[in-house]
Amino acid sequence: LHKAFVWFSACGARGNLFGGAYKIMASDLTTVLIPGGDSSDTGTPVVGSFERGSLQRASQARDEHTTEEELKGLTDADVLRRREESGWNEIPEKIIPIWYMVVKQLMGPMPYMIEAATVLSVALLQWAPFGILLAILIINTAIGFHEEKKAKDALDGLKSEMISTVPCKRNGEMVTLNVRELVPGDIIFLRGGNIVPADSRWLEGDVFQVDTAALTGEALPRKVPSDQYGVDLLSGCVVKQGEGFCVVDKVGVHTEIGAGMIAIQDKAEVQMGFFEQKIMTVVAAIITITIIDIIALTLLETVGRGHALYAGGQNSVLLWDLAIMVAAVPIALPLVIQVTMAIGASTMAEKKAIITHLTALQEIASMKVLCSDKTGTLTTANMTIIPPSIYVTEGFTQEQVLTWAAIASNPNNKEDPIDQAVFRGFEQYFGTEKSAEIISEYKIHQFMGFNPVTKRTVVRTTHGKQPLVISKGLLNKVLNTRHGMPKGEEDDGELQWEVEKLSEIGEAVKDADLKLSFKGYKTIAVAVRKPRSIDNPNDGPMVLAGIVPMLDPPRVDTEETIYRIRNGMIEVKMITGDHLNIAKETARLINLGTNILPASALQSEQPETLKKLILDCDGFAQVLPRDKKEVVMTLQNMGMVVGMTGDGVNDAPALAQAQIGIAVDGATEAAKAAADIILTTPGLSAIFDAVIESRKIFQRLLAYILYRMAATVQIVLVLTLLICIYDHMIDPLYVILLALFNDVTMTPISSDNVKPSKKPDIPTIEYIVGMACLFGFLSTAETLIYYQYVNLWDQPSLQGGGELDYSDKSDDIQIEIDGRRENVWDIRSAATYVQISIAVEILIFSCRTTGWFFLDMPSWGLIIGVMGANIMVSFCAVYGVIVTPALDWGYVANIWLYDIAWLFVIDASKMLVNYLTGNSHSDHLDYVNLPTTAAAAAQAPGSGIRPSTASSSHSFLERASLRASLRAAATSDPMAAARQSYKPRGSSLRPSTPGNVARARGDNAFAVDDVLGDAALASAASPLIGGQR
């Protein structure tokens, strides 16, 4: 009765799947073996065992989910009721009004300051400053609005491409619906090529081959339904083969992909970069100090000295306030940043990388950790044969085994990943022309395809005059076609055999297969027979030729790119949803490091333990989308700038969370929408290009920021001290022109010659403020000394002789210059303006490098811009254009010599400070090639303790000890490592019964069942898990 119940339950639950093709092992009442029930149609061997409890659950599935009433579909009333509960099958759009995007650009410390200065210039009827300030305000607003609108349009474009329809049963009839209209409980029809529109459950029909790479990172399709993967279908997966009915479980934001899309909605808004945040923090601090300074000066002049707040003319206190206000604001900062970013984006576009968010080019310079998905990112996402790893038996070669595997594959089965992997590896090994020539030498007489029962293909062919029978498939079914069958019975294959000398070679062959499985390879076996006649295929012994390993191979440039990135002191970690052993083998092939941990390791309850674990490992396997995001967030919480590369829907949350999200070539639309950089050609080399370009951009922006902050400090301090000490003010128009003219002439800095630093550029407020103050204070001293020097120079020429009375601002105090009499205060104001203008312009040469300025050649654009501006100011000063009264050439020549001499003083001070603080960068990042020897590879960046993480809060010895202990645990006792990784998440493994082994196999990181047959696993399970072997 028990056997009958088990048989009835199995057929009731799965009868529509396999047409009742079930085989029961009468010797084991606890296990039902269903050949093909859990093995891939592609030849991937998986043991198909059900526990009694699993069968009971499967038998209930039909009653619970596929009742006749449910198959009729929902009524209109049902749809309305369920839509109220679950909403539409879409991601609610976060609509940003156009007016808000415009107004947003006018908010913030710097815009507020410019707006206040603009209003004040109108109140004071200063129309020239008003026009300049208004133009700057409009330009800055337009730049910000353009960037934000472009980001929104890009995301909207991606969403519009995702609209599709699906057949759905409503009111008992099949109709075509927009996927947006689906609700839980809808019955939908899916077939090969369809994207699963919502989280669903399989009901009835064919067995689906489902490509889940976009969500799980697995290179091979899953079989749904199956005991291993159940009946669930996640939204975003692609049905590769089969057709059937499914019921919708979850829609919209409640789906797995919906949660990921919610995480990327903020990408529609332009986020301020890490470096830019630091800059704006400094700007806000300077503006705050300036406001306090303006209030204090206003009180001093009006209350203390009795000046009128506004009395007309240059001595108006409000005019002085306006001048200081304009001097404090780096009005061209947004323009310079955007131009620099745009040039960098243009450079990256030439290298086939599209920058969707310009801030990413700032962030990569500071990136300390790059997390990467495996399938489709580090690898090609196309399974292929690894010819050097082909196992051959005595008398055969790897070329023969590879050729026969191709002959035994079906070239017309475009959807079969195993056959396609064989052909792909065959063509890559021999070349396209040679491989076609080899295939043409074989004449096919009969091809017997793969099916879930026989688990092998057989081909009768002739090569020249030599008849051949070639078989390819599951190792145990190729070794003995009766494997897994009741004693005395055969499977459905036309030809039956046991390979020659099976008792002698069986153990060695299965051991070789097991070793390949531990490395993450999927395997197929190849056997050959040489009958005397093609019409007698059973003539002669069947001989095992070899085992063909397959793996999703690394991209051609992956290893070199990782080496170069680590040479730039950036840690690289793999985070994949694929099996642990596959992740380790891939990591070994690309020299990433094999300390890959299962996702269960992320469940540590101690935050410090989790941080240390993430820091010291080389990556994680079998992770879910939320795990990837958690790793990124943990690293960010440790103060690191994190990059993430990926291609699938499962990568979207982590791509959105990371400061730099990179979608590789062929990525899904969800990944592209979440990314900041989209690669448009295969390979990862553009990532290192982006690192190089970003660090150059950082050097250029840092040079401009130091220059502009120093100029601001100098101008504000000079104006303040002139008022406090001399009760004198430079013409406000000069100050406005100084702030604007010097900023505009600095735009060539965006393409300056710079060398990227060897280490990540981590901007700190302390360094920016400290260096800006150093330059600013020295420049202030330079100007004040010059101002006093001018006083002494002018005294002999004062009309009527005598000492200069600083309290006397009458027009009667004149000086003779170039044969004419001019007001001494006007001359002093003009001369000080020229001195500040030239000094500030040439200061950029010192700001742009950490070394001596005369040893680092600027770009010709910057040289022409700076020197051209200074020459223009000199001519204006001599000929009285804008700068009045006019100065003579002697005055101007003295100013040039004086400012150049001070440039050497400032540069020497900079060198001393950089030396004392350790900010002098002598090493620079460049393109390096992979080491050619093993010894060189051992010393390569990233081997052992890598510099990027050695600089973390953990000591070198502590990290070395931890990494050594982790790797020792993974290598000294491989079986112990297998046991650790063998545990399903959140459970303990009890190996005493076959049922426990089958239950554990669902999350088995080493996937032994993928490469061993039923009996082989049964015989190997206990010693493997028990630690006896």
C-beta neighbour count of 924 within 10 angstroms = 11
Q: Rounded to an integer, what distance in angstroms lies between the CA atom of residue 145 and that of residue 513?
A: 60
CA distances in angstroms from 183 to 165, 201, 411, 835, listed in the order given: 14, 13, 41, 73
At 870 the three-state DSSP class reads helix
CA distances in angstroms from 946 to 565, 593, 941, 960, listed in the order given: 11, 11, 6, 10
Residue 246 near residue 239 (C-beta atoms within 8 A): no
* Antiparallel, parallel or unpaired: β 543-551 and 522-529: antiparallel
Q: Would you mind telling me the total number of residues written for the chain in this entry?
A: 1029
Tokens (6 digits) for 309: 């707040």
At 342 the three-state DSSP class reads helix
Q: H or E segment at 771?
A: helix 765-794
CA 221 to chain centre: 25
CA 412 to chain centre: 37
Q: List, in sequence order, every residue forming a beta bridge with 230; answer none if it has no partner.
A: 226
Tokens (6 digits) for 973: 């006792």
At 470 the three-state DSSP class reads strand
DSSP 604: -
Q: List, in sequence order, every residue forming a beta bridge with 817; answer none if it has no partner.
A: 820
φ, ψ of residue 962 in degrees (nearest 5): -65, -45
Residue 108, by phi and psi: left (phi above 0), alpha (psi -120 to 50) or beta? left
Residue type, 333: L
Considering 38, 199, 373, 416, which one is annotated as catalytic?
373
C-alpha count within 13 angstroms, C-beta hemisphere, residue 676: 29
Q: Rounded to an integer, what distance in angstroms lies between the CA atom of residue 623 and that of residue 601?
A: 10
C-beta neighbour count of 759 within 10 angstroms = 17
DSSP 195: B
Question: Is residue 1003 annotated as part of the catalytic site, yes or no?
Answer: no
| Helices 765-794/685-721 angle, 10° precision | 40
Q: Rounded to an integer, what distance in angstroms lies between the CA atom of residue 741 and that of residue 573?
A: 47
Angle at 509 (CA atoms; ends 506, 513), nearest 5 degrees: 135
Residues 369-397 as b/e (b if ≥16 CB within 10 A, e otherwise) read bbbbbbbbbbbbbebbbbbebbbbbeebe
At 50 the three-state DSSP class reads strand
Q: Which of 513, 522, 525 is nearest to 479 (CA)?
A: 525
Angle at 1026 (CA atoms; ends 1021, 1029), nearest 5 degrees: 80
Q: Which of 964, 744, 751 is nearest to 837 (CA)?
A: 744
Q: Is 897 exposed, middle or buried (0-12, 13-18, 19+ CB in 10 A)?
A: exposed
CA 460 to chain centre: 49
CA 547 to chain centre: 37
What stretches of 24-126 show up as alpha helix (H) in DSSP?
52-65, 68-71, 76-86, 98-104, 109-123
Q: Rounded to an integer, what distance in angstroms lies between the CA atom of residue 910 and that of residue 458?
A: 77
Q: Rounded to an integer, what distance in angstroms lies between the CA atom of residue 1005 and that of residue 981?
A: 6
Terminal Cα distance for the chain, rounded: 40
DSSP 1010: G
Query: Catalytic site residues?
Result: 373
